[in-house]
Amino acid sequence: MNKAIKELIEKKANNIIRQYYPKKSDPILDNKAICFDQIKTILEKTLMTPKRINRLHKKYKQSIPVNDIFTSDSNIFFSPNFEEALKYDSLSGALMSFEELYLESPDDFCKKPDELYQITDDLFFEENIYHLRLNGIIPFFTIQELASVFKNFAIFFEDNKKSLIKTGWPKIRFTSSPWLFYTLASNYPIEIPAYIKNFNKVKNPCEDPYFFIKKLFYDKSNEYTEFKDEKYSLEEFFTYEELDFMEAIRPNIFNLKKIILKEINENIFSNTSDKDMCFRKCIYTIYDYISKCNIDNLLHINEKYNQFKFYTYNINGTFNSVLEILVYAYQESKFEKNSHFKIGYNLLLKEFSPDYKDKIESYYQIHAPMNTDDNVYWRYIEKQGKLKTKNLEILKKKMINDKFISNVLKTEKESHLKSNSLLKPKYPPYVKNLIKLFDQMKKNNIKSDFLSELPTSSRKRITPLELPPGTKWEQIILKFIDNESIEIKGPDNYKEVATFREMEFENRKKSGRPPNKLWVFLQALAHKKGTFSWDLLKKGTRNPNIKDAMDNATKRKQLVNQKLKAFFNLKEDPIIYDRKNKIYQTKFEITSENELF
């Protein structure tokens, strides 16, 4: 331990003595000098040194993200936190709690280091599991709170549909639950906020290892705001074929999550529904989706995503995430384990802690009541024991239910995947081999003229608009804002802005992928407010690009119709040919804000 750390510990021990040592004599406490040495010993043994962090990380990496919590570059941490215990207990009480674990006794010299670690690590584990719950990294809701969070998340999820399908990451934040956000919100992202990769580098102005998660999620100014953080691209970690696969699967996984969220909100949390039947139905749906995917591709891509984690969460948002959320919602709605625990301790603390403010804030808060009276203390311990007994009964029921869940998963997995139903390869063999060659060149950073022109993924699929039900072409108004964007208005105050790329009017053969001739055809229609003929065109413009775009106008009209029908999700042709007047006519209204020609 270096000199600076020793001085810091001595200063902290002195501050504790000055602040918490009782003015009246305490028969349990020794004199100040002995008390100071005991506090200093506890601080030295609870200091999160690199060696201790590494050991605890290896031991608890499946349940506590030790490295992510305690490796901030700007601070040092203590865990278990003796100073935090003093907020809820007297100095003598806190020393008694820590004495058995961190103050040496003659028997300790007979124990092996592993045995001593096991004893002291238990308190570390318990304290940090509570902090993970209280900071939202592990779910900790009553059933009413959980139902409300899921309902709000479903609305948030639908509002971010466009961004989740296009980039795999939501446009705005969801601050009600870090657990739900990082488990379910992402959708095979190709870009993530940079803080996910290096959030432990963020300056921490206090000694709270959970400072960052509180700043990010419990600062109300962040609620439902757009992500404006610096972006970190993940494209370089994936091959072109993998990027294309993720682009194709995003709409499917989005729809699956939407279905499961709806089932959870409408049936799983319902007091009248058959929860087991609802669970079976959801598992069937999930495996039905999985059976239609290339499993090998999924597994390989998921392995690559494993290097990008936020605390304990993978950020791909894959089928495993959907299963995890479903199982938790199903079991919590059926047994209300967290609900029972949280409500029970709320009532207990209200009765025994005069300063309690309707919120569990710390592990030490429920460890013992703020009262030194022996009768009160033992009544508290007795009621706490009853709560723990009830919790054990719920755990036994959950263990029986775990077998039911395991059987359902096994049955549906065998039913849907027994034929190894996978999608056929998207490319012919010679194209697959060519893409593999490009990927190898990319991996080895080999430059070539033709490689620089290769798109990052294959042809995009159009993501259709969600217009109000019953919308007809005659109710739609289009207005060109500029050469690349168009404003869309519909019934019920519907409004959207789309680019030529989003509508699939780009020329992929040219560098920079500019608008194609079909887009110029649409501009010509806007130029004449939805009516077009060769005579009108000759009178209205001398632009050779437009005249070129109107070559083979009949064929271009058919292609534009196909694009518009796909994007607007309407069945009828939007552009018709008036044989009598020999003109093309749009059913929708179309204009341009500026003179484009």
And the tokens for 501? 């790329």
Higher pLDDT, 374 or 114: 374
pLDDT at residue 478 in the model:
94
Please check whether residue 209 is in contact with residue 70, taking contact to mean a CB–CB distance below 8 angstroms. yes
> How far is 40 from 17, CA to CA, in rounded Å?
10
What's the pLDDT band for 382 if we cut at 50, 70, 90? confident
pLDDT at residue 425 in the model:
38
**Torsion sign across C-alpha atoms 279, 187, 262, 270:** positive
pLDDT at residue 314 in the model:
81
Asked if pLDDT for residue 510 goes beyond 80, the answer is no
Omega within 30 of 0 (cis) for the link into 429: no
Please check whether residue 81 is in contact with residue 97, taking contact to mean a CB–CB distance below 8 angstroms. no
Give the distance, in angstroms, between the CA of residue 149 and the centroid of all CA atoms in the same chain.
14
Residues 6+ apart with CB under 8 A from 545: 520
Average pLDDT over residues 82-89: 88
| Per-residue pLDDT reduced to its tens digit, 201-252 | 667 778 888 888 887 777 777 777 888 778 888 888 888 888 888 999 999 9
pLDDT at residue 204 in the model:
76
Asked if pLDDT for residue 547 goes beyond 60, the answer is no
Full DSSP string of 318-334: -HHHHHHHHHHHHHHHH
Each residue of 254-265: b (16+ CB within 10 Å) or e?
bebbebbbebbb
And the tokens for 305? 């995503």
Average pLDDT over residues 577-588: 84
| Secondary-structure breakdown of the chain: helix, strand, coil percentages, each rounded to the nearest 5 | 55, 10, 35
Higher pLDDT, 351 or 342: 342
State the DSSP H helix or E strand holding residue 122, giving kind and residue range, or none if neither.
helix 113-134
**88-97, 213-222, 370-379, 509-518: least confident range:** 370-379
pLDDT at residue 429 in the model:
47
Average pLDDT over residues 129-147: 90
**Torsion sign across C-alpha atoms 131, 136, 142, 145:** positive
Each residue of 129-156: b (16+ CB within 10 Å) or e?
bbbbbbbbbbbbbbbebbbebbeebbeb
Average pLDDT over residues 446-455: 40
Average pLDDT over residues 419-438: 44
> How far is 268 from 257, CA to CA, in rounded Å?
15
pLDDT at residue 105 in the model:
52
Asked if pLDDT for residue 20 goes beyond 80, the answer is yes
Q: What is the mean pLDDT of the chain?
A: 81
What's the pLDDT band for 268 if we cut at 50, 70, 90? very high
**219-228, 387-396, 512-521: least confident range:** 219-228
pLDDT at residue 225 in the model:
82
**361-375, 428-442, 444-458: least confident range:** 444-458
DSSP 8-class letter at 590? E
> How far is 560 from 575, CA to CA, in rounded Å?
8
pLDDT at residue 253 in the model:
94
pLDDT at residue 424 in the model:
37
> How far is 21 from 313, CA to CA, in rounded Å?
42
| Per-residue pLDDT reduced to its tens digit, 453-492 | 334 344 445 678 889 999 999 999 999 988 888 999 999 9
And the tokens for 67? 């490295």
What's the CA dihedral at 97, 100, 102, 108 to 10 degrees? 180
- Its pTM stands at 0.67
Asked if pLDDT for residue 274 goes beyond 90, the answer is yes
Closest CA to 161 of 250, 222, 76: 250
> How far is 193 from 195, CA to CA, in rounded Å?
5
Asked if pLDDT for residue 426 goes beyond 70, the answer is no
Please check whether residue 518 is in contact with residue 563, taking contact to mean a CB–CB distance below 8 angstroms. yes
Taking each continuous run of H as one helix and of E as one strand, the counts in the chain are: 24, 11
| Per-residue pLDDT reduced to its tens digit, 184-207 | 999 999 988 888 777 666 677 788
For 224: left if phi > 0, alpha if psi spans -120 to 50, otherwise beta; the answer is left
Average pLDDT over residues 276-285: 94
Asked if pLDDT for residue 534 goes beyond 80, the answer is no
| Per-residue pLDDT reduced to its tens digit, 26-37 | 766 768 888 999
DSSP 8-class letter at 373? -
pLDDT at residue 9 in the model:
92
Residue in the block written with tokens 């929708």: 588
Residues 6+ apart with CB under 8 A from 322: 184, 253, 256, 257, 260, 286
What's the CA dihedral at 407, 410, 412, 418 to 10 degrees? -150
Angle at 399 between CA 398 and CA 401, to 5 degrees: 60
pLDDT at residue 454 in the model:
38
What's the pLDDT band for 452 if we cut at 50, 70, 90? very low
Each residue of 226-245: b (16+ CB within 10 Å) or e?
ebeeeeeebeeebbbbbbbb
Residue in the block written with tokens 């399908």: 165
pLDDT at residue 311 in the model:
78
Average pLDDT over residues 351-368: 77
Beta bridge partners of 578: 583
And the tokens for 447? 């430059």
Which segment, 59-68, 137-146, 433-442, 585-594, is predicted with the most confidence on average?
Answer: 137-146
> How far is 154 from 381, CA to CA, in rounded Å?
41
Closest CA to 394 of 337, 333, 334: 337
pLDDT at residue 447 in the model:
41
Burial level of 589, CB count in 10 A (0-12/13-18/19+)? middle
What's the pLDDT band for 558 if we cut at 50, 70, 90? confident
Share of the chain above pLDDT 70, in %: 81
> How far is 134 from 13, CA to CA, in rounded Å?
27
**276-290, 385-399, 526-540: least confident range:** 526-540
And the tokens for 424? 């056929």
